[in-house]
Amino acid sequence: MPFEWVLALRFLREGRMQTALIIAGTTVGVAVIIFITALMNSLQASLAERTLSTQSHITVRAPDEAPLPVLDRQRAAVASHVEPRVQRLRSIDQWQRVFRELPSIPHVVAVSAIATGSGFAYRGNASKSIALIGVEPERYSRIVKIEDKIRTGAYRIGPGEAMIGIDLARDLGAAVGDRIRILSSEGRDDVFRITATFDLGVRDLNRRWVIMPLRSAQTLLDLPGGVTHIDLTVDDIFAAEAVAQQITARTGLTAESWMAVNSQLMAAFKNQTMTTRTVRLFLVLIVALGIASVLVVSVVQKQREIGILRAIGASPGRIKKVFLIQGGIVGSAGAAMGSGLATLMVWGASYALRQDDGSALITGQIEFSYYLAASAVAVLTGLLAAVAPARQAARMDPVEAIRYG
């Protein structure tokens, strides 16, 4: 073993209590960094999953109709103000071609065509304003897992069948097997038998949504063969905005991601991330100060030994390397034990911390990148914290060190 390593290990062994305390501090720091990172990421993923359980990651629709400017004979605008154009219900132009192209875009994993509009639901003397959602059941179940939210009945919609929210069913006094009449905003109506009621966890949706076959919605909304939206899911929810921009550039259609629609949620995510980074920064500073203080004390305590080493020919570079090795050892030991402690903390939290529905607040798994990042920070912090004590030891005059050591 090289001389510097032997001497570094000896210095650490002689100051057992100091070494144990600083390694313990580094261990706790690394464990807390990994635990907080895993906790915050789990909270964000859980919150995003709950938010996206009732909506697609990306919605593609026809661009808004812009008002036509009023021009004179020289093609110059003559109107100081043009009223916005009323947006009418219309289908995506050549939506079948777009529908076939979308799955080839990176990150896109599921695509579903939808025809949606407004209307009224009637049963007896009761009437309620509703949103008609025309879907292909097999494809739509990959976008929104309605089958997991069924409260009564079964996930099935065929010709003349529909599923409605539990609050709408209560308002209409309807149950599975009953029939309701649907009148669309286009003035068309039809009768549907209720096959299921669902609970999306959002009262407004439960009071308005009526899910029916795509062809039935096309007929009611006077969109023969057309669709108003194409919904997509992606494999990385935080890449949704980039994918939406790519879709807009490729197709010329309007693509809105959940990140753009839920701006307040994204702001909350950014605040959480900033808080996590701040906590990690202070933990790193605390660990660095702890390692530096211990090594400074070690330099003071080992003045005589350092002076003797310098007197017998040890170069300043070798002396400096001894203390850098000590900082690296402390950081590495803290990283290894901190990773183990973090694993236990996350595993325990996955059983102890529960959400309102009984599900785990945090998963018991930790991404390997968390270990790598925290360990790299611990080792780098140990080395940087050892720089000042190492330079102090290397500059020490051997005569003064032996005399006053």
Query: Helix 316-352 to helix 368-394 angle, to the nearest 10 degrees?
Result: 150
Residue 157 contacts residue 133 (beta carbons within 8 Å): no
Residue 123 contacts residue 182 (beta carbons within 8 Å): no
What are the residue ranges in the chain where pLDDT is below 50? Answer: 85-87, 404-405
DSSP string, 281-297: HHHHHHHHHHHHHHHHH
pTM exceeding 0.75: no
pLDDT at 38: 84
pLDDT at 292: 75
Q: Which amino acid is at 389?
A: P
SS3 assignment, position 341: helix
Q: How many helices (H) and strands (E) does the chain have?
A: 14, 10
**Helices assigned H by DSSP within 302-315:** 303-311
DSSP string, 13-55: HHTHHHHHHHHHHHHHHHHHHHHHHHHHHHHHHHHHHHHHTTS
- Dist CA 85 CA 64 (whole Å): 9
- Dist CA 329 CA 206 (whole Å): 59
Residue 107 contacts residue 232 (beta carbons within 8 Å): no
CA distances from 342 to 95, 331, 333, 345, 362 (A): 50, 16, 14, 5, 13
Give the DSSP letter of residue 73: T
Q: Strand 108-123 relative to strand 126-135: parallel, antiparallel, unpaired?
A: antiparallel
Please report, to the nearest 10 degrees, the dihedral formed by the alpha carbons of residues 143, 144, 147, 152 taken in order: -150
| Length of the chain counted residue by residue | 405
- Dist CA 78 CA 72 (whole Å): 6
Residue entry with tokens 């609970």: 199
Residue 7 φ/ψ, nearest 5 degrees:
-70, -40
